[in-house]
A and B are shown apart, each in its own frame.
Chain A
């Protein structure tokens, strides 16, 4: 009998151990699309975050503790995002969260994050989730409002005054399109027509025929990377050969591959590009990151979400350092005090208190399958 009791006690202690150890480490949570159509981007996001965590741990960790990452797949679904966020906060008791890259998912998980008082740095570019009054959400790259504003200005500068809009009928596409309509008004551009398509659909004959018929000077496209290849190609196939302005999804390798030569004449806004090799990166921070990424994963990242993940962890880590604790409210306030942190996206400044940290965006052009930056 006594032996049984000892065994049970020993078992109970071993089961309790991980829980105790958990409290000691600083834990970061992650949720994003690890499976499904955006899996490449989601995995890049997670991988980038891990590189940052590795570096932090190599330098002694945070507050003297090793940093750990707990990851969940949000499967690009808002419901799954809510579940993942709930699990991270309630079960895993994480100190900070990176993710998702889907703005709709961040929006869905918003109330849970705010209630749980855990700072989150999201990788989605839609402005909406930082316009709801949440105080615990932050962003570590420029939002799409910046992108669209610059593209509208570019159109104006290039004397392309008649614009047709084609966007995907989802959270991302809708917000980009309505942003552009606002900036078009500011820049006195005329919208010749506005068409939309379902994300994932591959036939745009009707929409593009209407657009071509409206004889625009330039077409504004806003959709996720996996749609952009077929869309761009069909524009040329249905007789529109003019310029196209669009989103950072054009940095996705598959977009360029599928579009091929039809991508010539595309101008898009993006925070950063992935160079061919780590050495080709102009920025030393990016070069270091890419070398580390290459070494750990054996390849260059497939999506710029890798940069977003890296920067996200840096911001959260800096917040924890400044606060000197992992208490949510203190870290949140500490992040808001950051105004000079170097990241791959640029210099982070959260002092405006909106949760936005970057206020510049770059524009690139595509020609012969290569990117070049437009100043």
Chain B
């Protein structure tokens, strides 16, 4: 059987295994972690579109996550809209705000863009913190309603797992369609060489904004799913640390492909659970891992695996002077 069919069979088998998962593993805590991993996969896949496919650094994911979560929570509690619509609204609002922020931002690169995205994320969090009655301020919003579809309520983690699984599958299919389309190819041209892309007539700015807009939806939907899973949100969840965590997952797993964000989300989540007994050292190790990944696996696990499979000779290591000269200013 050829590779394509083999991959398809693998996917089907994987999905079937995941569908059986909550029936085999009834432990509510493990299901919670697994469902959260699913949510992270959605957020990180969106992040991957901006970082991996269009080459822009962003540290504002927590902002989209927050917008989606708060929007969905508030809509579901103050209006009669069914939760599923509230979630989509959350995604759309995050997407829209992502577009607004992106428009003036995409002319910036690297550290400046990073700074803008950090500023965006922090402003969202601070507005939530100071939002008084509306956002619940520091107390947060408790008792967020559960999702119900056609009269069936997803009130246990096991049931909600299926919702998230479905969302993951849909969002990943959409992502693959996007990156394989013309726009996806255009993203990659921008990532690899923005000037050349412009020279070839691509509207670089519009493409970059599009990437952020898409990321916004993924992040917002993820946030909404989170809100209705945990039932409680507060500004403390949506910090810069959370954005860094998302980016770390993408970096570790490998960016610019389907599996990287998935692998990263799974590994980091498991790592945190395993390291928990170590207390303070857990976070120090997390920092060390980030440095290690940058040093030894800058293309992430998927990147390292792919390069092993298709090794094309390695260029000689540069001296520091050469590196600084060619990479330094941009």
Residues of A within 8 A of B (CB): 34-35, 39, 72-73, 77-79, 82-83, 86-87, 90-91, 104, 107-108, 110-111, 128, 132, 169-171, 173-174
Contact = CB atoms under 8 A, between A and B. Distances in A.
Contact of A90 (B29, B139, B230, B283): B29
Interface of B: 27-30, 32, 129-130, 137-140, 142-143, 230-232, 234, 236-237, 276, 279-280, 283
A108 B234 CA distance: 9
Given A35-B279, A78-B237, A111 B28 contact: no
A73 B279 contact: yes
Q: Is the interface of B mostly helix, strand, loop or mixed?
A: helix
Sorted nearest first, the 7 A-B pairs with minimum C-beta distance are A90-B28, A170-B138, A35-B280, A108-B232, A90-B29, A171-B138, A91-B29
Chain A CB within 10 Å, residue with most, of B130, B143, B276 = B276
A171 B235 CA distance: 11
A173 B129 CA distance: 13
Given A108-B142, A169-B130, A171-B138, A78 B28 contact: no
Contacts of B139: 104, 107, 128, 171, 174
B230 A79 contact: yes
B140 A111 contact: no
B142 A111 contact: yes
A208 B280 CA distance: 35
A87 B29 contact: yes
Q: Is the interface of A mostly helix, strand, loop or mixed?
A: helix
B32 A107 contact: no
B138 A91 contact: no
17 contacts: A35-B283, A73-B276, A79-B236, A83-B29, A83-B32, A86-B28, A86-B32, A90-B27, A91-B29, A104-B140, A104-B234, A107-B140, A111-B143, A128-B139, A169-B137, A170-B138, A171-B138
B231 A111 contact: yes
Contacts of A170: 138
Given A78-B140, A91-B30, 5 more contacts: A83-B29, A91-B27, A108-B140, A108-B232, A108-B234
A7 B140 CA distance: 53
Contacts of A171: 138-139
A167 B93 CA distance: 33
A169 B138 contact: yes
B37 to A, nearest CB: 13
Contacts of B142: 107-108, 110-111, 132
Contacts of B283: 35
A72 to B, nearest CB: 8
Contacts of B230: 79, 82
A77 B280 contact: no
B232 A82 contact: yes
Given A73-B279, A83-B32, A174 B138 contact: yes
Contacts of B130: 169
Contacts of A82: 230, 232
A171 B137 CA distance: 8
A110 B28 CA distance: 16
Contacts of A77: 236-237
A35 B284 CA distance: 12
B39 to A, nearest CB: 12
A140 B85 CA distance: 43
Nearest to A85: B29
Contact of B232 (A39, A73, A111): A111
A78 B29 CA distance: 16
A370 to B, nearest CB: 33
B234 A34 contact: no
A37 to B, nearest CB: 12
A236 to B, nearest CB: 28
A132 B140 CA distance: 14
Contacts of B232: 78, 82, 107-108, 111
Contacts of B279: 34-35, 73
Contacts of A91: 27, 29-30
Nearest to B142: A107
Nearest to B129: A169
A43 to B, nearest CB: 10
Nearest to A169: B138
Nearest to B282: A35
Chain A CB within 10 Å, residue with most, of B29, B130, B143, B231 = B29
Contacts of B280: 35, 39
Contacts of B27: 90-91
B125 to A, nearest CB: 11
Contacts of A174: 137-139
Contacts of A111: 142-143, 231-232
A196 to B, nearest CB: 9
B129 A78 contact: no
Contacts of A73: 276, 279
Contacts of B236: 77-79, 104
Contacts of B29: 83, 86-87, 90-91
A82 B139 CA distance: 15
Contacts of A108: 140, 142, 232, 234
Contacts of A173: 138
B69 to A, nearest CB: 11
